[in-house]
Structures are given as C-alpha cells and as structure tokens.
Structure 1
Amino acid sequence: MLVPLNWLKEYVDIDENMDVKDIVEKFTMSGSKVENIEVLGQGISDVVIGRIVEIKKHPAADKLVICLVDVKDELLQIVTGATNVYVGAYVPVAKVGATLPGGVKIRKQKLRGEESLGMLCSAEELGIDEQLVSAESRGGIYILPELPLGMDVKQALGLNDIVIDFELTHNRSDCMSMVGMAREAAAVFNKKLDYPAIDVKEVEEKVEDYADVEIAADDLCPRYVARVVKNIKITPSPLWMQQRLIKAGMRPVNNIVDVTNYVMLELGQPLHAFDLDKVKGRRIIVRRAQKGEFIETIDHRTRELDETMLVIADIERPVAIAGIMGGLNTEITDETTTILIESATFNGSNVRLTSRKLGLRSEASSRFERGLDPNLALDAVNRAAQLIEEIGAGEVLKGTIDVYKKPVKPWRVAVRPHRVNSLLGTEIDTAYMADLLERLGLKCLIKEDTIEVEVPTFRQDLRIEADIVEEVARLYGYDNIQETLLDNCKASVGLKTYEQKMEDMTRDIMGACGLNEVVTYSFESPKAFDNILLREDDPRRKAIQIANPLGEEYSVMRTTMIPSMLDVLSLNLNRRVERAAAYEIGRVYLPEELPLKKLPVEVRMLSIGIYGDGADFYDIKGIVETYLNACSIKAQFKPAADPTFHPGRAAEIFIEGKRAGVIGEIHPDVAEIYNMNKRVYVGEINLDVVFKKANMVKTYRPLPKFPAVTRDLAVIVPDDVAVGDLEGAIERAGGELIERIKLFDVYKGDPVPEGHKSVAFSLIFRSKEKTLVDQEVNEVFDKIVQELNKGFGARLR
C-alpha cells in the first residue's frame, strides 16, 4: 500500500517537524511494516513550467527541432529530439544550471550548431514512472495541463512529498486505504482523525426513475449500492487528483474513472462506473454466471465463465465480473452521458477463486479478497458522487439504490485487563488500556474487572479477546514491554527428533559428495508421468487431484520426485551450466484409493541428479553407497526394468530384501522430452526405509592380533547371476572367518562358454583367536565353492 505523506496529513495532523525516519519507526513498532520509503523530487532543482510558443526544424538535423519556450520571465531556445511536442504545450523545463535525479546537471550547449539553453523533461527524467502518465507523454516530453508559467515543477506536480510503502497483512483490509492508514496514524501519534466530509449536491430527478437493482445471489453479495449521475462530461481529471493517483501507483484515465479509483484509494471501497445507456433495461442483476457464458472485459480479452463465478448482469448478458473487472460492453467512453456508480460488497473467497480461475487480478479484487466492511459501501458511493459534482463532471440524481437485506452491526468482545497484563508481562492501567483501544475507533465500557469493547464493522479481524490483546500490545509499544519469564514456567531444552538428525546427516553427506540442495514444489503436472514414460498401469499414475490448483502445471500431488529433479537439471543445462549435481529431500503422496477417503501416505524421499562430462552410472551409485555406508547399511543393487531409465544402465536398491529406491541413466527418449543432450543420471531413495534400517551407533574393535590369509576365487556362472548374490553366498558360507570380499574381475569371451561369465574375487580370511593354517582355510574355501555350485551352478575356472 503506497501512502503519500502529504495526502495522509490531510486526515491526521502529523507534526511537520517530525523526521520521516521517526514516523516510519513509530509505524513499524505499532505493527505496520514499512517496506520502502521514496523521497519524491530528490535531486531536482531549477526545473520550471514552460509553454512552447514556437517550433521550427533544425537546419542541420532531420530528427531535431528547435523550440522557443516561455518560462514567464524569459524565452528559452531549446533543441529536442522529442516527437510529441507541439505549440501551446505546457512542459517541464530544466534551465541551464538545473539538476535532475541521479546527479544530472543541465549545461548550455550547442546541438549541430544550434544553441540549446536548457532541456525539456520527460516524466522519467523527473523520477515519475512513465507507465503512470498519459499515453501522449510516454516515450517523450511530459505534457502537462495548463499551469502558471515559471512555477517550480516540484510545487506544480506535488513532488515535495514522501511515499511510504506499507506491507500489510491479509487480515487488515481496513488498512488498504488512506483513511485506514490515517486511522492507524491517529492511534499511533495520538491525534484526531479528520474523516473526509461527505456532502452530495443533488438535482431533483430521482435515481429510481433511471435504474433498478436486484441481488439474486445474496450469499455472495450482501450489499449493493448504486447512484446515477447524468450530463456527464468526460475530460481529464484535475491535476491534484492525477498527482495523488500517480503517487499511489495508479495511472490517470479520465475524470470518471479517476474518481472511482481515487475513492477506492481514499476509503478502501472499490467502485465501478457503468455507462447506463448501455445497460439493457437499465436493470442491474447480481447473479451467478451461467456455464459457458462469455464476457469481454475492458482489457479487450474474452473470458469464459462458469456457475461458480459471480457477475453483474443486465437483463440480457453479463456486464462485469463481480469485484474484479468491468465489461467492455458498458465501458465509459467519450460519448457517455449517464453513468451508474456501483459500490458493493462481494464475498472475498469467491472473488479470490474467480480471480485465480480466470488468471485475472486487479486493485479491486485485491481488496475484496481480504473481506470488506459492507457499511463502507454507502459512504464510498456518496463520496464519488460528491467529487464528480465538485469537479463539474456531471449532475447527481437524488437518492441511492441500496439493497442490504442483512445489515452487519458492531459486535462486543469482553476483555479482562488482568489477563492482558498476564499475557504481556505488563502492568497497564485499565483506563489507559481503554484509551489505547479507543484511539483505534473501538468503544470501551469499563465494568469492574472487565472492559466491554464494541468493535466497529471495519475491524473484521477483531473477534476474540486475544485479538484485542494484540491491539493493546502494539499500541502500548513492543519496545516498552519488558523481557519477563512466564509464570510457573519450567525451562526445557529443544531437541531434534531422530528423523530430523538423520535428515541433517543426509544433507551433510550429499554436500560432501559435491551435490547442491534444491527445493521444488510438491505439486506436479499430470503430463510429468508421460514425460518419464510411465506405463498406463503404473501405480505412480494414481495421483491426488488438487481441488484449487494454481494451474494445470501444478494440479496433482507428486508420487515420484524424478520429474522435479529432471526439471531442475534441464533448466540448468539449458542455462549453459555444463556440469550439475543436485539433491532434494522431500515427500511424495501415495493415496490408498481414489477418490480420497482418508489422508494419503506421505513418504520421505531423497532425490539425486547429476550430469556433465565424465559422469557415469558409477558416480551416482558411489554417492548412494557412500550414504548407505554412513548409515551402516549393506544394500543390494539389482538390474531395474523401469521405462524411465536406459535399459541395462539402471539398478533397484534393496535393503534387507525391501525395495528402497532406484538409480540409473535416464532413457534417451526421456532426455529428449526434457531437452537434454547429455547423459543424465537420477535416482530416488525411500528415506523412511533407510532411517528405519540405519544403525548410527558407532562400535570399535581392536586391531587384529593374527595375520590374514588371502585367496583368489574365480568361478564361471551364467550371465544372469548377479555379483551381489554371489557375494552374499560367499559371506554366508565363509562365516566368521571371512573378513573381506573384493570383486576384482568380470570377464566374458574365450575360453568362457557363451552365455556365461567369469567372476573373480579376492577373499581375506582371518581369525580373532589364532593364526589360521592352510587346512582350515582350505576347508572354508571348499565350502564356499560347494555353496556357489549348489546355488548358482558355478564352477571353478
């Protein structure tokens, strides 16, 4: 919320001598967070208002013109390349010696042989956003309305001002206006609030003779107020109004639109003006849209509606999307002569959902989404009518149309002062506590040990005693509350859970392996399952549909983290990152059945992804083995038949017979879908299984006292026999005497028979109790050979 300080001072008498930093600090300490401060006109000096009295071509440059500019006390010759200047235009003139924002100093100079005694300024050169000025001034000189010649531009354009940008919480809809922030300022600085006086001058004709209003969906629109103004004259709005709109971040359009925007900024109630002659039957109907209805909004886009959306309609078609944007079919134009001003209250949740479905947000919708006070609607429409009449833009008809079936009234909250002091650790006097609350517009009645607080309808966030406690705390001043311990408080030490410690350890090991942590959404696109080539019957396709998705790209809960990792790797590769290694700790969501009848199973997963020159399958396998070794887990890797991965270059991970994950090189077709022209290796591991099987207790044993015996073993086995299975059999047959098994060779070819392979191991035998003799080693060795022959048909090579 952009708040120009001079505009704020119209409602609250803030001390002129108070430094803006002190003002900001007081607002911040009262709970109104300040995001930014912009000092307007900073660095501008000796820039005045001038009028172009003559324009002639530059004799030596086709793209330059020579302007003779009247600045009251002298005529200045100025050379410019701007194409939007014309005789009679009022423009900002930086005279010789003038300064502009950024330290620019204007000097006398010659341009292609012609003397230039100054510069005509654009809006941007004065520190004004060009997107907020009229179309004729964008990309050229700032064309101004008629102003006194020679007048300082900062005074003329109101640039002697400071704009404070407040970051407001969603529950404070009352602060989305100048009056709302003035109410806060009045409470913070203990000043009187001067509410804008509203007095509408009306003609004798009655509004009922011109229009009619019906609310057919009162659950979504509790109040609708309308006024009619005739004999409309469309012109630019007064300069003072344009200046305030620009400072508040809005672009002036014309006098009628500017008045509705001005009132929205001033009071917080969005308004909309319809060209009443274009409203069929001159009847406004607030109803739900019909499925398949269309409306072309004022941004010239056609939007399809459905029955969940609220629209403003006439007797034939929608003329506005309630609370969001008006329709092109009733837009105000230069030919408009009669308007209907809408001031209504719409259901905030419905406006938010409609806005999200249509991908359309506006200044109005951002206010309705927060929830507005229905009792604000009448003041707002009357204020707009008053301003239209005061600036001579039209004549206001007598009376208002006000459909308000269930008026909202103030409510009461009982507050116990001793409870407030107990929670805050303070000793605030009851009378002073009531005074603090009354500064905010709350009415207080002290009854013995209770304050009965009447909450006005504009403070919809105050419902229970705890809400009032927060108001007392922030106005009393957080910096005035002493540090104290809670009564009967026992200190306790916060500790991490086993799972949290294991996650930390996982991050440490992944970082040590050279991987960077990434974080992705738990939402996924249904197309992701096709992108990684999952079969139609794959259980991972059974994903939970999100009821209110951000869009189709985030419409289901993920059942695998591989697509998210591939998105990250693809993005990096397409940004010319030649080598990347990443990991993510997240969750997947596995429903037991669809549609959901109970919450899904959330599985904690580790996702890994790498690519780059020299990277291969054994890199990602090594990372996983390093991690599992740190967890004291011995895993088995078996060939995987997963369509996401390259055939023969992927492995499933098993821990004590339970599948715990998969790693491998992604299939070339998947790589092509993700626009990756390198070999990419990804994997995901079920951390819930790992954490359950991990043994993090460190055990130590003395160095061996007796020597080891080494024997090599080479056997011929069928191709489909896994090396890991052979190692398991050797370990079982060798018993306690086997200290280490190391694979050192796999060979295929002559003289090994076709369909077979030779696998060679180095075996280390050692006893803890004595020195082994050959006979003992031979017996164990023969037992191993027999076990391999029995289990796998292995024979010695």
Structure 2
Amino acid sequence: MKLSVSLLRSYCPALPAGASDVRQALDEAGIEVKGVESAGGDTVISVELLANRGDHRCYTGVARELAARLDGVVAAPPSRLLTVAEDNGFPVVVRTEKCLAYTLTPLVVRDSGVLLPGEVRSALAVAEETTGSVIVDATNAAALELGQPTHAFDADRLTGTIEVRLSGAGETALLLGETTRRELPEGTIVIADEVKVLAVAGVIGCEESRVTENTRRVLLESGTFDPVEVRKAASALNVRTAASQRFERGGDPTLPLAGAGRVVRLLEECGAAAVSGPTVCAREWHGDLPVIDVDFDDLADFLAIPSSPEDVVRRLAGYGLRHLEGGRFQVPGSRIWDLVEAQDVYEELARNIGYDELPGSASFSGSGVGQSDEAADLRAAGEILVSLGFYEVFTDSFYDRSLLKRLGVEPDSPLAHHIRLVDAADRHYEFLKNNCLAQAVEAVDINLRNHSPDLRLFELATVFRPDRDGGCAERSLLWAICAGSGLPHGWDGKQRPVDLFFAKGAVEEIANALNRDLTVRLPDEAEHPLTPYLHPNRAAVLYFDGVPAGVLGEIHPEVLKRFGVTGVRPVYLELETSALTAAPAKPRPPLEDVPPITRMLDFVLPAPVSSAEVMEVLRAAAPDRLRDLRVTDVFVDPGQFGVGARSVTYLLVLAVEPTPTSEELNAEVQLMIDAVATVFGDEGVVLR
C-alpha cells in the first residue's frame, strides 16, 4: 500500500518531519516500509501490511498506530451526521447472518462534473484509485481515509426490494469491467434487487447497477460482511479489489454509518450530490464488543518490567481499548478480529513500549552444546557464497497460481503438484511452495524494476511436496541466483558479468570446503524437475561423491520473457542440503608441506570419444609425480565444436618433489598431450 507522508501527517500531527524518521516510526510501530520515493514535492512510502490487520489499510488506521507510540492524537476527517429512518424508508431487507451491518443512503446528483478537494485527489492518485467519476472517487477516498468501503448504486436502475442474501445454485452476475456473465458459487453473499445481482458483497459491484455520467439518483451502500465469506468469494471469482482486501481481513461493524457520512460530506462540500432522504439501517451491529481481562501481575512477568495500571490504561487507550474497571478493557470495533485474548493485548503493549526497551535475558546450563557437523557444513557453504558477494534473503513459504503460470508449469510437470491451503487468508498464499526457482526469478524481476540489475542472492529454504500417502514431504535446499555484473575489477579495469562459470566456481568452492568430489553432467529432463526451466545449452546437474546434489544453469529465455526480465541472463543454483551435510566419501587428504603443481589440459572430444578413454591415455603417459587427474569442466557449444562434440577440461595435480625445472615439467606434460594426439588424433580429438 502506498501512502502520502504529507497526508499521513494531517491525520497524525505528531509524525516526525524527516522521511527517515517517518520510516523509523513506522518500523517501530510494526508497519514495514518497503520503499520511499519522491513524487511532486511529496514523499510517498510503500508499506507492507500485516495479513490480519484490516484496520491498517487506511490513513486513520496507520495514524492510530503511530499516534499510540508518539503520544499524539488522530485527526479524523470530518463526517456528515446522517439521519436514520425509523420506518425503513424504502424496501431493503437482510436475509443472512453473514452480513454484520448494512445501511443505504439516498442521494441526488447535483453536478457530476465537479472535483473533490485537492488533498483528496492526491490521496487517490498515490493509491492509484482515481476513476474519473466524482461519486466513485468519493467512495474510494472515504475507504482510504477511514477503512470503510462503500458502494454507489444507480437508484434508477434498480427494481423492487433490495436484498442482502446468499446466492442460489446457477445464479450469475455481470461483474464491473467484464462483458460476460459469471456463475457465482452457491452461498456467496450478494446484494440483489428483484431481477438481478447488484454486487458481490464486499468484493465488487456489477455493471447493471453502476453509476454513470447519466446517473441522477444514487443509493449509497455501506456495510460490513463476514471476512471468511468475503475471502472465499474473492478467491473463487479470482477478483481482488481494495474493498475485498479490507473486508477479508476483518471490517469494523460499527463503522458503516461514519463511512457513509464521510462520502456524503465529500460530495456535499464540492457540490456533486446531496442527501435526499433518511438513511436506512437494514442491519445494525448489535453484537457486544469483546472485553479482555488483563492480569497486571502476569503482564509485568510477560514484559519483565514493572508497569503501573495507570500506564497500561494510558497506552492501551492509544489503540482504542476502553478501560472499564480493574483489568477489564473493551476492544474497539476495528480490532475485534485480532485482539482475542490477554496475550494479544500484552504483545500490543510490548510493541508500544518498544522491543528495544524491554530487558533481555539468557538462560545458562552447566554445559554448552557445540555446533553440529551438519550445521557447520551449511554455515560453511553460506559463508562461501557471502565471500563471493551473495546476500542471504528470506522468502515466503507460500505463493499463488500466478507465480506458477509465469514459471510456465505444465499440468504433467512434477512442479504442478502442491500442498494447497483450502481456506487461505489470501490467494497470494494459496500453495506451500514446492520449488524455489519461481521466487528466485521473481526476485530478479523486483530488483530490475527497482533499478538494481546486479544481484547475488541465496537462501536456505524448505520446499513441500505431496507424498505417495497423501501427506507432505519436506526437503531442505540451498538456492542462489545471480545476474548482472559486479565482479571485482580485472587487470583491464572492466567489470565482468556473472555467468554460468561464476556460479559453477561457487559450487567448486563449496565442494572443496566440504571435501566432496564434484561431478558436473549435462542435464536430462528426467534427472531434475527444474531442468525444463533452465537454458537447454547452459545448464548442468551436479553430483557430490557420485550422489545427485542439485542443478545449475541459466534461466530459460521463455521463463524470463514471462516474468518480463530483460537485459540480464540470471544463473540459478540449487543444492540439496542433505548432499551438503552428508559425510564425505573419502577422508580429506593431509596437507603437504609444499603445495602441489597444477596444470589444466582442455581437449575437444567428438561424440564417439569418451572422457574416460582420454583420461586413461593421459594417466598411462603421465610422469611418476602425478598425484591426481580429474575432469573439472565440460562445455558444449554446437556452433563452435559441432554437434555432439564437447570441450573437456582435465586437472593434473603433480608433486613438487623431486622439484622439476620449467622445461622438465613442460616436457612431461607435452608427453601426455602427444599420447592423446597419437591415440585419438585420427578421430578428431584436438588440444584447445
């Protein structure tokens, strides 16, 4: 959500002056700031809101959170006091208990061409909710200000009695912005007249009742609906609106009249519309606001600091909790969904005081517990990545269908099978992730959009996949992704882009640190589920001590295209933590007093010649000082080497004793080269 700092200050006058101080205040209040930018002389902040705090999704909600910490007051916007009809002025009835409160206010349109006040239009522009209709813009503005969504119906397009009810089997609606009618899930809360559905409650209105430039009479709806039912409807229809995002986190059932009054105030002040009759309360919130008992002694133990009842009362009042008597506090309507028990109130007080202000304590035991070998191996792998410029990140354990669609997961792919949350609080968190590649590429996309093309990220993560028994199988992974440039300057002063070989070098460093033999092979689609999403000619599967360990490769161009990633060629690396923490197949060789001599030979091998055959000839022709001979790289480029051919690099490890001269060492290596040329020269093997 984006907020204007100048507008936020008008609701919370105690807000600090500097942008950095505002950011700190929000962070301390538990509202994470994702970005800060300048816009037309104002500062705009992007905030990440908690999933269970619908009250935060408006200026007054954020201002209340800040004011509670800053000892300030919340300056709520002025609202029109509406007259409520005693005789149900026009026919409207609520037929479901899943509607918690519902009002309708009749308006007559005076001038649809006028503008709302400048500060209101600024708030709408920052939130990208400007529509061009003064009536609709006023409803959006009131929701941004107070957190109470409202909706405007064209009264002349309605027929007979208005009902708030559950949809029947096969019932359809023409949703706003669509041209084809949708079948609604049976049991969805709808607003309907005698012939059609006017709106899906709490989610979206319908084309057949919307206001237009020709609208002359309006019925302004303001209500509150069961958050679970709103969430289910939005998910089933795959529709997310600002209203549904507020309602599905829990709306304030005491707020509908004030929300409608604010819309009316905005329209009357600019001359756009006026009330033409009393407001009808078809359902008024009659539920008792919850009361929570606070044990002051228990609270002091929880906070580990003394806190007087007077101080607790003062602090909680900042969040709207009304003190009744003793330790009893009444929860405001805006918080009935997340303040349920005493511990919730304790956490609210802890945040108000400030976690940094609370004392910390450590428990001690008679003996310490050392770091396990497995933890040490994982730490070593992470430290190697950090030394190469990677930053550790933390991603969600959930994602949604849209991310899988961007990855290009086909129905028959192993990645198509998920552990799914049936009643996810948010459709963006519908699936437990079964792969890390999608979020890694998404991270590249996010960084590019924030003008950060050079990145190196890694994470120790867990993926979840259905097992054969219908349960959940967990796997731990170390993944990394790199893109752009940023490698240390070379002798020529140029920065080089990170590429497949840079990532392969990182794997080699890890394998060496953990005393594993690394084998790099060309991928087979059946060998790893991620290979279809990697470049077919720039990818490899990895083995540690002959055991499958992971995969490495450039992201497939089609995947990058679906994510909108251009200008970089990201490389992805994934290793099984079980492979990292397994015992090495052979003990680490003892360190020699003098480091060995190493040489590399690179031969281009045609398809009929195997690497093992060449290695056998090299070993037979090698001097006695040879201590190790292994393949360190295989590179395939049909355009350069021909179809089926590949470039294979062999590492020679030679003992220093007896110490050779340069000429003697070169002669010994040349004998090995000549032996390969003699045996395989006619078959097209050449030194590269």
Q: Classify 1:326/1:387 alpha carbon distance in 2 versus 1 (closer, same or farther; 3 Å).
A: same
* Aligned pairs for 1:550-569 within 5 A: none
Give deviations 1:345-388, integer Å, cap 9, x for gaps.
12334444554665654443342233112122234345656776
Q: CA deviation at 1:561?
A: 6.6
Letter in 1 for 2:514: C
Letter in 1 for 2:344: D
Partner of 1:455: 331
Letter in 1 for 2:199: A
Query: Residues of 1 paired with 2:63 and 2:135: CA distance?
Result: 25
Partner of 1:380: 259
Within the candidate set 322, 330, 341, 1:464 is matched to: 341
Partner of 1:692: 582
Secondary structure in 2 matching 1:323: coil
Confirm whether residue 591 of structure 1 aligns to residue 463 of structure 2.
no
Q: Classify 1:303/1:689 alpha carbon distance in 2 versus 1 (closer, same or farther; 3 Å).
A: farther
Confirm whether residue 227 of structure 1 aligns to residue 105 of structure 2.
yes
Q: CA deviation at 1:19?
A: 7.9
Q: Classify 1:353/1:494 alpha carbon distance in 2 versus 1 (closer, same or farther; 3 Å).
A: farther
Q: CA deviation at 1:672?
A: 12
Matched residues, percent identical?
Answer: 23
Partner of 1:604: 477
Partner of 1:740: 627
Partner of 2:191: 312
Query: Residues of 1 paired with 2:547 and 2:132: CA distance?
Result: 68
When normalised by structure 1's length, the TM-score is: 0.55
Within the candidate set 608, 612, 617, 1:723 is matched to: 612
Letter in 1 for 2:94: E
Partner of 1:158: none
Give deviations 1:396-423, integer Å, cap 9, x for gaps.
334524225x732122212122333333
Query: Residues of 1 paired with 2:23 and 2:480: CA distance?
Result: 45
8 Å Cα contact 1:324-1:365 kept in structure 2: yes
Partner of 1:790: none
Letter in 2 for 1:222: L
Q: Classify 1:379/1:572 alpha carbon distance in 2 versus 1 (closer, same or farther; 3 Å).
A: closer
Confirm whether residue 326 of structure 1 aligns to residue 191 of structure 2.
no
Letter in 2 for 1:223: A
Q: Classify 1:424/1:292 alpha carbon distance in 2 versus 1 (closer, same or farther; 3 Å).
A: same
Secondary structure in 2 matching 1:213: strand
Query: Residues of 2 paired with 1:196 and 1:375: CA distance?
Result: 17
Confirm whether residue 242 of structure 1 aligns to residue 242 of structure 2.
no
Confirm whether residue 212 of structure 1 aligns to residue 92 of structure 2.
yes
Give deviations 1:50-89, integer Å, cap 9, x for gaps.
xxxxxxxxxxxxxxxxxxxxxxxxxxxxxxxxxxxxxxxx
Query: Residues of 2 paired with 1:582 and 1:177: CA distance?
Result: 34
Q: CA deviation at 1:252?
A: 8.2
Letter in 1 for 2:29: G
* Aligned pairs for 1:252-401 within 5 A: 256-257=135-136, 259-261=138-140, 263-288=142-167, 293-297=172-176, 299=177, 304=182, 306-307=184-185, 310-352=189-231, 354-355=233-234, 360-381=239-260, 384=263, 393-398=273-278, 400-401=280-281
Give deviations 1:190-240, integer Å, cap 9, x for gaps.
7698895754468xx987453323334x33x322222334x5434455x7x
Confirm whether residue 501 of structure 1 aligns to residue 376 of structure 2.
yes
Within the candidate set 630, 633, 638, 2:513 is matched to: 630
When normalised by structure 2's length, the TM-score is: 0.63
Confirm whether residue 525 of structure 1 aligns to residue 404 of structure 2.
yes
8 Å Cα contact 1:172-1:370 kept in structure 2: yes
Q: Classify 1:257/1:741 alpha carbon distance in 2 versus 1 (closer, same or farther; 3 Å).
A: closer
Letter in 1 for 2:343: A
Gaps of 5+ in 2: 486-495, 595-606, 632-649, 658-688
Letter in 2 for 1:279: L
8 Å Cα contact 1:611-1:681 kept in structure 2: no
What is the total number of aligned residue pairs between the two structures?
595
Q: CA deviation at 1:518?
A: 9.3
Q: CA deviation at 1:636?
A: 6.2
Query: Residues of 1 paired with 2:421 and 2:257: CA distance?
Result: 39
Letter in 2 for 1:503: L
8 Å Cα contact 1:201-1:389 kept in structure 2: no
8 Å Cα contact 1:589-1:603 kept in structure 2: no
Secondary structure in 2 matching 1:694: coil
Letter in 2 for 1:280: T
Give deviations 1:98-141, integer Å, cap 9, x for gaps.
xxxx9xxxxxxxxxxxxxxxxxxxxx9xx599xxxxxxxxxxxx
Secondary structure in 2 matching 1:397: coil
Letter in 1 for 2:579: V
8 Å Cα contact 2:191-2:200 kept in structure 1: yes
8 Å Cα contact 1:281-1:315 kept in structure 2: yes
Q: Classify 1:208/1:35 alpha carbon distance in 2 versus 1 (closer, same or farther; 3 Å).
A: same
Query: Residues of 1 paired with 2:137 and 2:557: CA distance?
Result: 58
Secondary structure in 1 matching 2:475: strand
Letter in 2 for 1:723: A
Q: CA deviation at 1:630?
A: 3.0
Query: Residues of 1 paired with 2:439 and 2:83: CA distance?
Result: 63
| Relative contact order, higher structure (CA 8 A, sep 6+) | 2
8 Å Cα contact 2:415-2:435 kept in structure 1: yes
Secondary structure in 1 matching 2:249: coil
Secondary structure in 2 matching 1:375: coil
Secondary structure in 2 matching 1:4: helix
8 Å Cα contact 1:245-1:252 kept in structure 2: no
